[in-house]
Amino acid sequence: MLRFEQVTKSYSGGFVALDRVSFHLEKGEMAFLTGHSGAGKSTLLKLISLIERPTTGKVFINGVDLSRVSRGQVPYVRRDIGMIFQNHKLLMNHSVFDNVALPLVIEGFSGKDMIKRVHAALDKVGLLDKVRCLPHTLSGGEQQRVGIARAVVNRPPLLLADEPTGNLDPDLSKDIMNVFEAFNQVGVSVLIASHDLSLLARMRYRTLTLKNGRMINDGLTSYGADE
Amino acid sequence: MSILFQGRATGATAVKQSLWNRFVMFWVHHLRQAMASLGEIWLTPASSLLTVAVLGVSLTLPVTLHLMVKNLQQVSSSVDQAAQISLFLKADTNETQIAELIALLQANPDVADVQFIDKSQALAEFTAESGFGDALSYIEDNPLPHVMLVSPKNTSSAAASALLATLQQERYVELAKLDIGWLERLDAIVSLVRQVAIAVALLLMVAVLLVVGNTIRLMILNKKDEIEVMKLVGATNSYIQRPFLYTGIWLGFFGGILTFLIEEVLLWWLKQAISSVTQLYESTFTLQQLSLAELGYLLLVAVGLGFIGSLLAVRRNISQIEATGL
C-alpha cells in the first residue's frame, strides 16, 4: 500500500531530515511511527501527502510513484488519503457538519447523499449529537474526533495521523485509538505518528522508529529498545 | 477519478446522475456559490463598501465624459443651418437659368433642401434690417446677387465642404460659401473630449482593476488558514478561487450600480444650470441621459473589471499559499 525506497529529504542548509528510509506498509495494515521530536516523523508524513517532495528516493502509494504526480494532480492524490492533524486544522467559524462535509463538497457531493455520509462519519466517532456545534465549543478530544470524521468521510483507503493524541489524557487517547482500530478492521491502512510510548506499548502494533532521520527499528518491540 | 487507486469511485461521479440532473446541479452549485460570496461581502461591510465606493466614483468620471460627448454631438447635429451653403449667383443669370439650377440641385442626392432668395427680396430684407434705410434708396442698381441656400443631407463638416467644392464648379455660381469654421471647431472639441474620455476611462479602469485586485488579495490573506485546510483535504486551486471570483463580480456589479446612481444625481443637479444656459440660446436642447443599453454596457464593463481584477489577484496569491500542514 505504502512503500518508501531509500528516501532522503534534506533541506537547504544541509539539514538532513530523513536519511535513506525504506519500509513497506501492507494493505490493511496498521502501524505506528515514533521517535523524538525532530526525528523526521512529520517530514515522512509530508512526503506521503505531497506537502514536500523527497530529495532522492521514491515513495509509492498502491504502486503509484508519487514523483510522477504533477502539481495539478496533488489535490486528487490528497483525496485518497485521510489526514488527521495534531492541531485538528478545523475551520473554526464553520459548524461541525460543514467541517466534516468539506472533502465531500470539494468532490462535488450535495444534498441527501452528502448528509448521509457526514452523519455516518460523525456517528462512527460518536459525535452525531454535536453536528450543529461550532468547533470551539467542543473539547480537545471532540475536536480531534471531528478531524477524524473529516478524514474518513470519503472513505479513503489510507489514513495518516500526526500525533492524534498529542494533547489528550490517557482515557481520551484510548478512545481515539479505538476509533482507528475500528477503521483498520474494515480494511483501511493506518499510519499513526506518535511519541506516546506507553500508548504504543499497550496497543502492540508494528512500530517504525526514527532517530535523527534514520529508521533504526521496524518491529513490535522497538519502543523499549530505544529508551 | 482516483489517481492512486484505479477503480476507486470518488466524488459525485460515483453517484449515477442523469445528464439533465447534472446540468441543473451545475447551475444550482454556481448560484449557491454566488450567493455565498454575496453573504461574504455582507459580513465585511466596511471594506466592501469602501471598495464599491472607489469603483463607483472611478467609473463616474468616464461615464460623465461620455454623456458630455453625447450631448455635444446632439448640439452639433441640431444646428444644421451651420452647414448651410450660400451660393451667390453671377449677376447676369436669368430666370430660366435659375430654374435650371434649382432643378439640378434638387436632383443632387447630397442636397436636402434648396431655398432661392431673389436679389430684390434680399435688398428689401437688407433695407429693413440694416438700418441704412433711406441711404440705400439712392442706389440705382441693386448691387446684391441672387442667393441660393443649399442644405446638405450630411451635415458633418467634411461632407459639407465636399459638397461646397462641387457646387463651386456650377456654371452660374459666382461664389459658394460655407460657414463651417465654428462647426469645425465644435467637431474638434467634441473629438478632443472623446479622446480625453477614452484616456481617462483607460486610466481609471486600470485603477479599478488594481483596487479590486487589492481587496481580493486582502480577503485571500485573511482566509489563509481556511485555504490551507482546504488544500490539505484535496481542494484544487480552481475550486478555492471560485468564491473570490464571484466576490469580484459582485463588487463590480455594485460599483456599476453606484456609478449609475451618482450619475443620475449629477444630472439632476446640473439640469437646472443647463436649462438656464439653453434658454439664453433659445435652443430646444434636451439633456441626454444614460440610455438603458448604456446602463447595460456600464454594468457589463464594471462586472468585467471586477472579474478580471479578482482573477489577477487569485492567480497570484492562491497558488502561493501552500499547505504547510502537519
Q: What are phi and psi of A110, to 5 degrees?
A: -160, 170
> CA B136 → CA A24, B91, B133, B312, distances in Å?
122, 19, 6, 79
Chain A CB within 8 Å of residue B231 CB? yes
Same domain, B172 and B190: no
The reply to whether B194 falls in a domain is: yes
Backbone angles phi, psi at A102, to 5 degrees: -50, -50
Task: Find the mean pLDDT for residues A82-105.
Answer: 90
pLDDT number for residue B13:
53
d(Cα A179, Cα A128) in Å, to the nearest integer? 15
Of B135, B150, B178, which one is at a domain's C-terminal end? B178
Least confident of A58-67, A188-197, B20-29: B20-29
Contacts of B236 in chain A (CB under 8 A): 72, 75-76, 106
Give the model's pLDDT for residue A223: 46
| CB atoms A157 and B8 under 8 Å | yes
Question: Sorting pLDDT into bands at 50, 70 and 90, what band is A227?
Answer: very low
Contact call for B3 and A107, based on CB within 8 A = no
- pLDDT for B259 equals 95
User: B94 or A56: whose pLDDT is higher?
Assistant: A56
> How far away is chain A from the Cα of B13, in angstroms, using its nearest Cα?
8
**The three-state (H, E, C) secondary structure of chain B, written as one string:** CCCCCCCCCCCHHHCCCCHHHHHHHHHHHHHHHHHHHHHHHHHCHHHHHHHHHHHHHHHHHHHHHHHHHHHHHHHHHHCHHHHCEEEEECCCCCHHHHHHHHHHHHHCCCEEEEEEECHHHHHHHHHHHHCCHHHHHCCCCCCCCCEEEEEECCCCHHHHHHHHHHHHCCCCEEEEEECCHHHHHHHHHHHHHHHHHHHHHHHHHHHHHHHHHHHHHHHHHHCHHHHHHHHHCCCCHHHHHHHHHHHHHHHHHHHHHHHHHHHHHHHHHHHHHHHHHHHHCCCCCCCCCCCHHHHHHHHHHHHHHHHHHHHHHHHHHCCCCCCCCC
Percent of chain B with pLDDT over 90: 21
Determine contact, residues A48/A222, Cβ cutoff 8 Å.
no
The answer to whether the CB atoms of A75 and B325 lie below 8 A apart is: no
Is B238 found in the same domain as B280?
Answer: yes
Please state whether the predicted TM-score (pTM) of the whole model is above 0.80. Answer: no
Q: What domains can you pick out in chain A, each with its CATH number?
A: 2-80+156-226 (3.40.50.300), 91-155 (no CATH)
Are B228 and B324 in contact by the 8 Å Cβ rule? The answer is yes
Average pLDDT, chain A: 87
Minimum distance, in Å, between the CA of residue B247 and any CA atom of chain A: 19
> Does residue B226 share a domain with residue B164?
no
> The C-alpha cell of A60 is what?
509509492
Same domain, B230 and B145: no
Determine, for residues A154 and B10 on separate chains, whether the beta-carbon distance falls below 8 Å. yes
Cell of A14: 544541509
Residue A97 has what pLDDT?
94
CB contact under 8 A, A80 and B3: yes
Mutation for A interface: B1, B2, B4, B224, most A CBs within 10 A: B4
Same domain? For B191 and B264 the reply is yes
pLDDT at B246: 94
pLDDT at A12 over 70: yes
Specify whether B56 is located in the same domain as B136: no
Q: Can you give the pLDDT at residue A189?
A: 93
Range(s) of the domain holding residue B128: 85-178
Q: Quick one: B265 and B121 in the same domain?
A: no
Q: Nearest-CA distance from A131 to chain B in Å?
A: 19
Nearest CA in chain B to A163: B326
Residues of chain B with pLDDT under 70: 1, 7, 9-17, 76-83, 133, 155, 157, 179-181, 282-284, 323, 325-326
Out of A76, A80, A89, name the one closest to residue B229 (CB).
A89
Would you call B33 an interface residue with chain A, using a CB distance cutoff of 8 Å?
no
Percent of chain A with pLDDT over 90: 36
Comparing CB atoms, the residue among B3, B10, B230 nearest residue A64 is B3
B3–chain A Cβ distance below 8 A for any pair: yes
The pLDDT value recorded for residue A226 is: 43
